[in-house]
């Protein structure tokens, strides 16, 4: 089964990152909950806690959705025997990339179950985070495959993140906001971002295919 094969590769790749593999989990289940607890202790269950959740989840989770993928792709692009990986496993790169990202998304579900107990709209907030994370995944993927360098690829990624945090102007291309999701209709912007993320992924795969052909 191809699914089991690539899922196993993804888990092995994450495990191979050793202590760095723990970072996204620690952020999701230690750092963010600690911040939430501070707000809970000070303000109780209410608007301030809700805003703190959407603030810090958007600040950290989309970025760290790229973490495992970044180290995985570094092996494909720059690691020992990377050219061999390109030749021998033509479709493996994008499949392992998406599979690794999905493992991260599934890892977030228990966190959002807890959030949902406190706030019913957290289901939609989870959808928002998934869309934002898919956009970030696509951006990382195309940058790595176009620039052929994991280090250089982080420059446009960081520029985009800083633009998100520092720019208060509303734009379909910017995801960070403290606005609450009022309903499914409020997710249109984020569905567009997810679609754009998929387009970036596919474009990045075209760059990867061109490199494989040239190898």
Residue 82 burial (CB count, 10 A): 16
State residue 83's pLDDT score: 46
Distance CA 93, CA 76 (A): 7
State residue 173's pLDDT score: 84
Would you list the domain boundaries of the chain?
A: 2-214
Distance CA 84, CA 212 (A): 10
State residue 158's pLDDT score: 94
The pTM score is: 0.91
State residue 87's pLDDT score: 43
Tokens of 192: 């567009």
State residue 89's pLDDT score: 57
State residue 179's pLDDT score: 87
Q: Residue 45: left (phi > 0), alpha (psi -120 to 50), or beta?
A: beta
**How confident is the prediction along the chain (215 residues), in pLDDT tens digits per residue?**
777 888 888 998 899 899 999 999 999 999 999 999 999 999 988 899 999 999 999 999 999 999 999 998 887 776 654 544 444 455 678 899 999 999 999 999 999 999 999 998 899 999 999 999 999 999 999 999 888 888 899 999 999 999 998 887 778 888 998 888 888 888 999 999 999 999 999 999 998 888 777 66
Backbone angles phi, psi at 71, to 5 degrees: -70, -30
State residue 84's pLDDT score: 40
The residues, any chain, with a CB within 8 Å of residue 46's CB and separated by 6 or more, are: none
Q: From the DSSP assignment, how many helices (H) and strands (E) are in the chain? A: 10, 0
Distance CA 171, CA 84 (A): 42
Helix (H, G, I), strand (E, B) or coil at 13: helix
């Amino acid at each position: 089964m191809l699914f089991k094969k690539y899922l196993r590769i993804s888990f092995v790749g994450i495990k191979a990152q050793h202590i760095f593999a723990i970072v996204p989990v620690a952020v999701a289940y230690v750092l963010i909950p600690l911040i939430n607890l501070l707000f809970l202790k000070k303000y109780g269950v209410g608007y301030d806690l809700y805003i703190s959740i959407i603030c810090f989840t958007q600040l950290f989770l989309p970025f760290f959705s790229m973490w495992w993928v970044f180290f995985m792709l570094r092996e494909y692009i720059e690691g020992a025997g990377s050219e061999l990986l390109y030749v021998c496993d033509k479709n493996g790169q994008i499949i392992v990339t998406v599979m690794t990202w999905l493992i991260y998304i599934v890892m977030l579900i228990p966190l959002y179950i807890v959030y949902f107990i406190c706030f019913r709209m957290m289901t939609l907030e989870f959808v928002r985070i998934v869309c934002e994370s898919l956009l970030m995944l696509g951006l990382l993927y195309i940058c790595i495959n176009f620039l052929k360098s994991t280090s250089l690829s982080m420059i446009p990624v960081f520029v985009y993140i800083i633009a998100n945090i520092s720019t208060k102007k509303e734009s379909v291309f910017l995801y960070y906001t403290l606005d609450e999701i009022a309903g499914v209709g409020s997710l249109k912007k984020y569905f567009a971002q997810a679609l754009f993320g998929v387009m970036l992924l596919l474009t990045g795969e075209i760059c990867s295919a061109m490199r494989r052909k040239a190898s």
